[in-house]
Chains A and B, each alone.
Chain A
Amino acid sequence: MIQISDLTFSWPGQSNPTLQIKDLQIKTGERLFLHGPSGSGKSTLLSLLAGIQCAQQGNIKILNEDLSALNDAKRDKFRADHIGTIFQNFNLLPYLSPIDNVVLGCNFSKRRQANLKTEGATATSQATRLLDELGLDKNTQHRAVNELSIGQQQRVAAARAFIGRPEFIIADEPTSALDADNRDIFIRQLFEQAQQYQATILFVSHDASLAPLFDRKVSLADINGASL
């Protein structure tokens, strides 16, 4: 599913590389927990996986597509079609309702729209179903986003990542604002959705206590040659 080989990345103006990863592989449907302290290069790795940044050396293959071989526009399209992201701060658009925020994930990808069509669903019906499954009641689905609790916002962010069946879900410290109970509930729901949609999850956090919930744990410090 995801294969990183001989990756080297340096931010412009920096002499030392931020990331040097010899090899990292993630299997289809795997739920990988990537752990590392702040500043260890987690966000940089995520932006490389999302195709926002390009590695200077080595390559990243997702779904057998070498990201470094794609131009900017194609990488953007690839991200829109195949990658869903859940942010630490949810990053919902405050002027859209939860439903509209979720539907937004389909706006820029014809592939996701085609996937919905195959399932006989519309973007709105799929968004409603996802929010239902994640436990957001109908009334809440049409309220203003800033009126929702943190837990509810997090579910909207998750629904937005899953809509249109992207194969790869990046979750960047999505539970850092939740208490332990809600955190566990959210992760369980995330896994249920991932299983249903056969999505691979890369869950990034500095909280190592979450590791037992995942199939595999990787410490960025262990695989990043630049930090050794």
Chain B
Amino acid sequence: MTLINLAFKSIINRKASVLLTLFTIAISVMLLLSIERVRQEAKQSFSNTISGTDLIVGARTGDIQLLLSSVFRIGHANNGLSWQSYEYIKAQKGVAWTIPISLGDSHKGFSVLGSDDNYFRHYRYGSKQTLQFEHGRPYHNAQEVVIGSEVAKQLHYYLGQEIVVAHGMGNTSFHHHDDNPLVIVGILEPTGTPVDKTLHVPLKAIELMHGPKHSTQHIAGRKDSSEDHDHDHDHDHDHDHDHDHDHQSQNLENLNSQPGDLIGQPKQITAFLMGFESPFYTLQIRRNINIYKPEALSAIMPGVTLRELWGMLDIIEKILLLFSGVVVLISLLGMLTTLLSSLNQRRRELAILRSVGARPRHIFALMTSEAVLITALGCMLGVALFYSLIIIGKGVLQAQFGISITISMLSSYELLLLGVIMVSGTFIGAIPAIRAYFYSLNDGMSIKV
């Protein structure tokens, strides 16, 4: 019988207190791994939000505020920038592409983003991935909308459906652009970025929404099914399922449209994204924009500002890790308390082992291996609980916080954290082991307790 076997049987003999210790360690390991995984995934989805864009230009404001409003749809841009300025900067030498962005409207709490067809051509996220269509195609005219995957999922929208957008942000809006129903012509594949929660319309559609009240402009060649509808399309998703199917087949004909003007005559846009033919132009044009006389503008490099923003969140990240570290430490101290309190009762057991020839170093090894076993079992149980938690909590995290958690093997950093817990458990286990060592030297074979 090996020492490990003996330690295991001894643990089984004290299962009640050991189980409690084991669960404490398991829960702390679960907490540590969960916080670490959420942190990593949040960081990942954060830095994946935009890529391949060299500059973001908007009205003069703070770099982070411009990034938050234009990319993350968080907060509002204080001012817009004039279309003339956009046209001027766009025409500069070295500019490969631009994507105008007009924000400020919403639909049932989801942002509405006005742009042109460059958006689907040049917008990149993650590792310079382009936007892909799960269904449908980009918009061709001002009566069409392309929705993000989360919008489609949460509002149960389908291709060909007509929707109405509201002026302003937020879930409740008092001014609905009832006279400008838009047809869903495309649903994007999930990206794990704010694009999933955005409705994309042409700039002209934004202009029409905000312009004087007028009738819906129907595009030649598209069968107008909206005439048969109640115009309060906001309630479409509440219809019963069969009725939805009727709508679906009927409205798919809405997709047969012809290209029309996407831009119109906008006066202002919120911001625009720029890509250059060579990185060489980035700093030069950025400088020019920042000193642009006709209008006060800001140009930011998204990569740099993303890092700045994450740097601001660094302290929260560290506090979270510190808390989970403290939880792990408390659980290990709990193990120490359990082992120390049981030690006095176990002096008899140690003396028996001494009488059959166990050396003090065997007693030390036995006690340490018990602590290692408890820590290892606690870690294993903690990992199992962690995976159970992310399987259960995945949906909630995605829905509530937009953090997409991938169920993957433990990363090297997570394994390193487990390693640190194992080493700490061993060291903490060595404390009662050292006491047991000296007890066994003093007690010898005489059972004093």
Contacts and interface: CB of A to CB of B under 8 A. Distances in A.
Contacts of A77: 357, 359
Given A92-B352, A107-B357, A85 B10 contact: no
Interface in A44-101: 46-47, 50, 52-53, 72-73, 76-77, 79-81, 85, 87, 89, 91-96, 100
A107 B356 contact: yes
A195 interface: no
A91 B9 contact: no
Given A52-B444, A91-B352, A100 B10 contact: no
Contacts, number: 71
Given A52-B445, A95-B10, A108 B359 contact: yes
Size bracket of the A interface:
20 to 34
A89 to B, nearest CB: 7
B312 interface: no
Contacts of A93: 349, 352-353
B1 interface: yes
A156 to B, nearest CB: 12
Given A91-B348, A91-B447, A104 B10 contact: no
Interface in B40-66: none
Interface residues of B, number: 24
A103 interface: yes
Given A52-B445, A94-B13, A95-B9, A105 B348 contact: no
Interface in B393-449: 441, 444-447
A109 interface: yes
A45 to B, nearest CB: 12
A92 B351 CA distance: 11
A53 B444 contact: yes
Given A47-B444, A50-B445, A100-B1, A95 B13 contact: yes
Contacts of B13: 94-95
B265 interface: no
B1 A104 contact: yes
A165 interface: no
Nearest to A87: B355
Interface in A199-214: none
Contacts of B6: 104, 107
Contacts of B353: 93, 104
Interface in B346-399: 348-349, 351-360, 362
A85 B445 contact: yes
A160 interface: yes
Interchain residue pairs A-B with the least CB separation, the first 6: A80-B357, A52-B444, A95-B13, A108-B357, A76-B359, A91-B352
10 contacts: A76-B354, A76-B357, A80-B359, A85-B356, A87-B355, A92-B352, A95-B10, A108-B357, A108-B359, A108-B362
Interface of B: 1, 6, 9-10, 12-13, 348-349, 351-360, 362, 441, 444-447
Interface of A: 43, 46-47, 50, 52-53, 72-73, 76-77, 79-81, 85, 87, 89, 91-96, 100, 103-105, 107-109, 160
